[in-house]
Amino acid sequence: MSYCNKIQYKIYTTAKDQFPVMVEKLLAQLPEQGAVLRLAFFGMPPDNEEYLLRRELLKEKVREKFGDQLPALSYVSQPPLHTSLIMEAHLLQNWDHTDHLYCRCLDGLPYVIWENPYGRFLYAGGFQTDILQWTIEKQSAEVFNRIGKLLHEENFPVHSIVRQWNYIERITDFEGENQHYQSFNNARSDFYTGDLWPQGYPAATGIGTNLGGILVDLDAAVFTSPEGFVTPIDNKLQVAAHAYSGQVLAEAQHKKATPKFERAKSITAGSDRLVYISGTAAIRGEESLTGVGLDRQLHITMENIAQLTRNAEIRMLRVYLKEKKDYSRSKKLMESYGFSIPVSYMWADVCRDELLIEIEGIAIEKKDI
């Protein structure tokens, strides 16, 4: 069975209840067969103290479920708009003797390595500090130190990162003169500087959370077959984010490093292609479309996504909304596209104040069915 046929993406929800009960109900919905590569939970704790408590409880519940076969795990402080707690699962189904799965931990952080005829694939998450009172600059530097340590431990070069999810508490806020998102971008740029990135930067999302400091999840790939490779994907309607001018960037520590990511990135494995769609918004060139309202911004965002996916079939979408009140309207607009796929809706600050919506996703093109 082909590479892409083995990967599934699911979103699970549950009715409002006590946090431990909701976690148990979500975990109970996972299929008995196959393996879980990644679990990402999305909810809204009242403060950072409670966030840390819930994060530890979540780890305990997942450990009870999986024993020493833990998936990559993260807890994102973003309020879902259609339920109280969401669990997003990346699953490996229908695997065979050519697939080898290794569940490991480093400094208490679980991650998964999948080895198959095309190469080695890393699924890791939950990179963050326990001291959320640190500045965003200090948290970002520590998070990238931890990422670097794990990549080195498993012989994945930094440029092997193909997808990165970057969650940034109060993303557009400032600490003095230093914008949170720009502080993160500076730290990311410093971390990436030591590598040449021959196949372009990762696909990525930089999105706000209400709590939780800096949190990073990632997928990485090292190929052992010429039939496996990655490809950066540009959108001809947009300037590449890593080529932005200083005019659209904020400042932190007197630096304006550009956001180092591609609009999308694909993994080709034989005749199959998996496309990671970066966080996408209503930007043309490098400028936001302002004063046009939610409907127009959503339409332009979906046009941008269509430029990236081409013949690939979208399998999952995550919609971030700046305003809670826009949920019903955005859901109706998204349904008009006729998708029969998992879609989650989060209340989150987007990286520019004028943007009302951002959408990310995963698409798959299967030619050998």
pTM summary value? 0.96
Residue-wise pLDDT for 120-141, tens only, equals 999 999 999 999 999 999 999 9
Residue-wise pLDDT for 224-282, tens only, equals 999 999 999 999 988 888 988 877 777 777 778 899 999 999 999 988 999 999 999 98
pLDDT at 71: 98
pLDDT at 368: 55
pLDDT at 1: 59
340 pLDDT more than 60? yes
Residue 148: left if φ>0, alpha if ψ -120 to 50, beta else—which one? alpha
pLDDT at 369: 46
pLDDT at 367: 72
What mean pLDDT, rounded, does the chain reach?
Answer: 94
DSSP conformational letter for 366: -
Long-range contacts of 188-194 (CB under 8 A, 24+ apart): 188/140, 188/144, 188/257, 188/259, 188/260, 189/257, 189/258, 189/260, 190/141, 190/144, 190/257, 191/144, 191/147, 191/148, 191/158, 192/158, 192/260, 194/158
Q: What is the arithmetic mean of pLDDT over 143-148? A: 98
Q: What percent of the chain stands above pLDDT 90?
A: 84
Q: What is the arithmetic mean of pLDDT over 308-316? A: 94
Q: What is the arithmetic mean of pLDDT over 276-294? A: 90
Which H or E run includes 142?
helix 136-153
Residue 248: helix, strand or coil by DSSP?
helix
Q: What percent of the chain stands above pLDDT 70?
A: 99
| Residues 338 and 225 sit within 8 Å (Cβ to Cβ) | no
d(CA 167, CA 1): 34
Banded model confidence at residue 62, pLDDT cuts 50, 70, 90: very high
100 pLDDT more than 60? yes
Q: What is the arithmetic mean of pLDDT over 307-319? A: 95
pLDDT at 295: 96
